[in-house]
A and B are shown apart, each in its own frame.
Chain A
Amino acid sequence: MQVSEEETVRILRKDVLLLFLLAACAVSVFVLTKTVAAREGQIESRVAGIWYQDGERQIKAGQVDDAIDSFRKATGIDRENPRYVLALADALALGDHNIEAEQALQRLRDTDPTNAEINLRLARLAAKRGQIPEAVLYYHTSLDGMWKGPDIATKRRDVRLELIRFLIAGHDHDRALSELLVLDSELPEKADAHVQAAKLYLLEGDEQRALNDFKEAVRLDPLNDQALSGAGETEFQLGDRRKARQYLEQAVARGDASPQTRDLLQQTEQQGRADKQGEPR
Chain B
Amino acid sequence: MTQQNSNIYLNALLKGDEKIIVKIYGDMLPKVVSFIKNNKGTQQDAQEIFQKALYQLTARVKIRDFEINTSFEAYLFTACKNLWRRELNNRKKEVRNDGVFELVSEERDNSNAVLEQERWELFEEKITLLSENCKKLLTLYFKKTSYKAIVEKFNYANENTAFQRVFKCKKRLADLVKLDKRFQELC
- A and B: partners? no
Interface residues of B (CB under 8 A from A): none
Interface residues of A (CB under 8 A from B): none
